[in-house]
Amino acid sequence: MFRKLSIRKKIIISTVIGIVIPFLFGGIYLNNFVVNWLYEDNFEVNNSILQQVSEFIDYSLVSSVEEKVNMLSELDIAKESVGYLNEYTDYVPEQKSYMETDSEKKIESVFKIIKDTDSSINFMFFATKEGEYIEYPKFTPTKSYDPRIRPWYVNTISKENIVISDPYITKFTKDMVISISKRVMKDSEVLGVIGVSVKIGEITSNIEQIHIGESGYIIVMNENNKIMVSPNEPEWLLKTPDELNIEALMHLDISNKEFIEKKISGIDSILNVIISPKTGWKIISVVSKDDLLKKAEEVTSILTLIYIITAIIILLIVFNIATRVTKPIRYISNAISNMAMYKFTLTDKEKINEYSNRYDEIGQVSKALIGMNSNFAELANQVEILNEEIKNIDIENKSNKVAHLSEDNPFAIVVDSMNILLEKVNMYIGKLRNSNTEVIHKHELLIATEEELRAQVDEIDTQKNYINFLAYHDPLTELPNRRMFVEHFESKLSKKSSCAVVLLDLDNFKAINDTMGHIYGDTVLKEVAKRFKTFLKKGVFISRFGGDEFLVLIKNPRENLVLEENQLLKENQILEENQTIKELIDELVHLFDKDLTVNEHDINIKYSMGISLYPQDSTEINKLIMYSDLALYATKKENKKSYKYFDESMMKKLLEKSEIEVILRDAIVNDGFKLVYQPIINTINGEVNSYEALLRLKKHNISPGEFIPIAEEIGLITKIGRLVTEKVIIQLDKWREQGLIIKQVAINFSATQMHDSTYFDFTKNLLSKYNINPKLIEIEITENIFLNNKEFAINYFAKFRELGTTISIDDFGTGYSSMSYLISLPVDKIKLDRSLNIKFLELKNIQVLDSLISLIHGLKLKVVAEGIEELEQVRRLKVGECDFIQGYYFSKPLEVDDVPDSMNRKYL
């Protein structure tokens, strides 16, 4: 077989055999090298990840709580309370009752402050060697309770350092928690054990989200080998490998600092282990051995591809060399074959002429071939002309081409006969052309008319389809509209069905439109719709309700399910019996955990939802939508979680809100508001420094705490804010006309009023009109006003300060208090909220409040304490060098006519 091959193929085959053998052995060696390298790389990468997890646990669990427990163990009020606390070792509810002691109240106040600052703390406790016990939130036993026999007490009382307990699940909240405790000492005497119970669900949840490769995960065991994190086997939680009979997790050897190959859950796996230096917890990475080998296969595939490409390149080089050797023979061979088939034109004449100049055998053969070919040249050329003429007969145009041969050519007679035949054919075609012109013209008209009609029909169909689309879809997001939502609801649900109607509203979308523009806002809505489309699945229907609101229908696949009408049972029943709806709602809540990227800007989308249930809330879709809207309103108002279910109390609140809205609108038109003025006292001279103007309704006993939020929501706060500003400036003018020495008046300013772009000009013009010094006006704002758009707010109030108006932050300590941002804000005063004052003034040691006042003074700001009602509080604030005091101890808000009498009064 090999002998029959061409010379070129023989050269190529021999060379290929010489390449394959060394490539084969080299590939086997390289594959083994890659597998070993991947094992080593996996060990290093996994160890790095485990180290980061260990540091995360140490920081989140130990470092953040250790300081609090150490502080609690050194509290004097805890040490001094021994002997003054209740003990429950012989407690019988029917025979014995306990009164809360002063010591318990003091300890609870400290516990409360610490717990309020750390949401991960479940509860706090203190037990003495005498069996006394206190817990916050308040301990309410149902039987005798001796803390000294509890594991956390027994394990801690004999140790100097902090002790971390095994994890356990709480009975009521079902949270996974651990106890972190330390013994309390006084003068080398052990008094008891104090500590906190900490939720670790968020920590374990974060660790469960960590993935190593495609299927790798992390297992965490505490120092007693109890499993705390097991993403693939949740039933392992809070059990030891010995209890579960998991050989792979028993007696893990980490001394050699190498990976461990073991089988877990029937899968051959590679384990890496490190131990946290602070907690003693074992952090174990588990990676499927098959996944690791799969990577080796991928690398081997790449190397194989490189081998193949290299072999192809070598083969091309060999092919080129073989071609250069055999090419002249191939050209001459092809030329002879063509001549044998009466093809007398040399396709590579230049090459053959080149070869004819050679002095070897190829040159001799080439010269003979050229001579033989020239003898047929004339005949071949003329025959080709005739052949092309016959093939290209044109009905439209007559051809005048004819073929000619020399007279001594034997084929001349044949060529002449073919010329006569072509002339006759052209004559008959001409006659047909003339008679067919009219038919062709009419045919063209028919085709043109048909095309025009087809185009019109297509356009009508397109418009009809678009009209039908617009009838049932939102043109911006291309989501179904409310009409299609209603029809889908009525057509898909039977009387035995159950479902949830969810009304979803984007939070702070108005701020996006105001700051970035409506075009950008439309783009955000399109991207939001795309994210919603990823949520489409069986039983879910999403539509755009309007603006930044969306309607979602979540259908329960189980039929014949009737939910409880009692609102208290709804959510629990959904969780137990209607799990599909609850899971989909929870999934919808977290749909936008990942930010949207719009025009290279990352947008954090948050939204609130109101939910009504069919059929227990109603069987009419319009009522269900209205109920969802009420639940949405309650969600936004409460601002504690992202959704609420409708209940009847929401309808009652809607009616109350509507009544207040009517009252407010009437008060704006018919002068139904009045202002009262509460004095603010200077702590140095006891005189009135300024007043705060407080808004009241003349004919209704409705507190501002009720009607101001409603005014903000329905957009009336802008008019009311201007009305208050005008009343204050006019009143200042009246007092001046009465010959009084007028003092500064503070006006409360709502964050919503920042959308009133001309309020500054309005205020400036009023001050100019009544010739009132701007320094007599103080604008009180809340610290939360800077959260959404800090730069805009700073620029907004900087204009008032340039005018001369004073700016103060009201209710400081109730919102997102941060001393660091006060440096950059255009403010002059800080008003400490009543709750903050009471919290620290009730303690014997008021150094915290003194330090806060000193720090604010360091920023060159004045301090006002609000809500002061007792003489002792006034004395403590004067010691702390508080600048001004406001509260019922000095005066309730005064009617306008009573203000002049207070202006020159000495309050201190």
pLDDT, one tens digit per residue, over 176-197 is: 888 889 999 988 889 999 999 8
180 to 7, 196, 238, 414, 833: CA distances (angstroms)? 87, 6, 17, 116, 33
Q: Residue 589 — very low, low, confident or very high, per pLDDT cuts 50/70/90?
A: confident
What are residue 282's DSSP bridge partners?
221, 275
Mode of pairing for the β-strands spanning 806-812 and 829-832: parallel
Q: What is the pLDDT of residue 745?
A: 97
Closest of 807, 904, 813 to residue 862, by C-alpha:
807
Contacts 24+ apart (CB under 8 A), 212-217: 212/45, 212/46, 212/49, 212/285, 212/287, 213/287, 213/291, 213/292, 213/295, 214/291, 215/287, 215/288, 215/291, 216/46, 216/285, 216/286, 216/287, 216/288, 216/291, 217/285, 217/286
Report the 10 Å Cβ neighbour count for 20. Answer: 10
d(CA 583, CA 602): 27
In Å, how far from its chain's centre is CA 455? 48
Pick the more confident residue, 263 or 730: 730
Q: What is the pLDDT of residues 48-103, one digit of tens each?
A: 777 777 777 777 667 778 888 888 888 888 888 888 888 888 877 776 677 888 88
One-letter amino acid at 539 equals G
Kindly state the helix (H) or strand (E) to which residue 197 belongs, with its residue range.
strand 189-199
Residue 560 has pLDDT above 50, yes or no: no
Helical segments of 610-753, H only:
621-638, 648-669, 704-713, 717-737
pLDDT at 220: 87
pLDDT at 782 over 70: yes
**Sign of dihedral through CA atoms 634, 636, 639, 640?**
positive
What local confidence, expressed as pLDDT, does residue 568 receive?
47
**Omega before residue 277 within 30° of 0, cis:** no
CB 669 within 8 A of CB 715: no
Widest CA span in the chain: 147
Q: Are 596 and 524 in contact (CB under 8 A)?
A: yes
Q: Phi first, then psi: what are they for 780, rounded to 5°?
A: -95, 125
In this prediction, residue 820 carries a pLDDT of: 61
User: In sequence order, which ranges of 563-696 are alpha helices (DSSP H)?
Assistant: 567-577, 579-589, 621-638, 648-669
Across the range 681-706, mean pLDDT stands at: 93
Structure-token pair, residue 782? 């809340």
Residue 139's pLDDT is 79
SS3 call for 688: strand
Token pair belonging to 271: 């384990």
What confidence score (pLDDT) does residue 477 get? 87
Of 82, 252, 240, 89, nearest to 166 by C-alpha is: 240
Task: Give the confidence band of 585 by pLDDT, cuts at 50, 70, 90.
Answer: confident
For 372-388, how does the pLDDT look when each residue is reduced to its tens digit (9 = 90+)? 666 566 666 666 666 66
Mean pLDDT, rounded, for 308-322: 74
- Per cent of the chain over pLDDT 70 is 77
Mean pLDDT of the chain: 80
Chain centroid to Cα 34, Å, comes to 39
Average pLDDT over residues 295-299: 67
Compute the average pLDDT of residues 801-819: 80
Q: How many helices (H) and strands (E) does the chain have?
A: 27, 26
Question: For the residues 451-467, what does the mean pLDDT come to?
Answer: 76
Distance CA(797)–CA(33), nearest Å, equals: 68
Of 312, 57, 242, the closest CA to residue 164 belongs to: 57
pLDDT at 158 over 70: yes
For residue 218, count other CB atoms closer than 10 A to its CB.
22
CA separation, residue 556 to residues 7, 416, 500, 501, 878 (Å): 77, 91, 8, 11, 64
Q: Which of 647, 642, 643 is nearest to 618 (CA)?
A: 647
Q: What dihedral angle (degrees, nearest 10) is formed by the CA atoms of 871, 876, 880, 885?
A: -20
Q: Specify whether the CB–CB gap between 425 and 393 falls below 8 A.
A: yes
Is residue 137 reached through a cis peptide bond, with omega within 30 degrees of 0 on the bond before it? yes
* Residue of higher predicted confidence among 256 and 404: 404
Q: Cβ of 577: how many Cβ atoms within 10 Å?
A: 16
| Residue 486 near residue 606, CB atoms below 8 Å | no
Phi/psi for 623 (5° steps) reads: -70, -40
Alpha-carbon distances of 140 from 52, 93, 135, 143, 312, rounded to whole Å: 41, 10, 9, 9, 83
| pLDDT given at position 596 | 86
**CA angle (199, 203, 206) in 5-degree steps:** 145
pLDDT at 889: 93
Higher pLDDT, 640 or 564: 640
Q: Does residue 572 have a pLDDT over 60? A: no
Residue 332 reports pLDDT greater than 50: yes
Cα–Cα nearest to 563, from 614, 610, 609: 614
Length, in residues, of the chain: 908
What pLDDT score does 289 carry?
74
For residue 564, is pLDDT > 50?
A: no
Q: What contacts 684, CB < 8 A, 6 or more positions away?
A: none
Nearest alpha carbon to residue 85 among 153, 136, 156: 136
pTM, to two decimals:
0.45
What tens digit of pLDDT does each residue of 471-518 get? 788 888 889 988 898 888 888 777 677 889 999 999 878 778 877 888
| Band of pLDDT at residue 886, cut at 50, 70 and 90 | very high
Determine the average pLDDT of the residues in 639-666. Answer: 84
Q: Look at residues 173, 112, 119 and name the one whose alpha carbon lies nearest to residue 137.
A: 112
Task: Name which of 803, 809, 811 is nearest 786 in CA terms.
Answer: 809
Q: Euclidean distance between the first and final Cα of the chain, in Å? A: 123
- Torsion angle of C-alpha atoms 423, 425, 427, 433, degrees rounded to 10: -140
pLDDT value at 430 more than 80: no
How far is residue 636 CA from its own chain's centroid? 19
Res 347: pLDDT = 57
Q: Any residues with CB less than 8 A from the CB of 325 and at least 6 apart, and which?
A: 7, 8, 11
Lowest-confidence pick of 578-582, 623-627, 796-800: 578-582
Look at residue 127 and give its three-state secondary structure.
strand
- State yes or no: pLDDT of 816 exceeds 60: no
Residue 696 has pLDDT above 60, yes or no: yes
pLDDT for residue 563:
45
The token pair at 460 is 């009508």
Least confident of 171-180, 393-402, 519-528, 567-576: 567-576
pLDDT, position 413: 67
**Residue 759 banded pLDDT, cuts 50, 70, 90:** very high
| pLDDT score of 799 | 93
pLDDT category of residue 575 using cuts at 50, 70 and 90:
very low
When pLDDT is averaged across residues 588-604 and rounded to a whole number, the result is 86
Q: Which of 120-124, 262-266, 477-481, 572-576 has the lowest mean pLDDT?
A: 572-576
For 728, other C-beta atoms within 10 Å of its C-beta total: 21
Please check whether residue 856 is in contact with residue 830, taking contact to mean a CB–CB distance below 8 angstroms: yes
What would you report as the CA-atom Rg of the chain, rounded to the nearest whole angstrom? 45
Q: How far is it, in rounded angstroms, from Cα 552 to Cα 556?
A: 13
Q: Is the pLDDT of residue 10 over 60?
A: yes
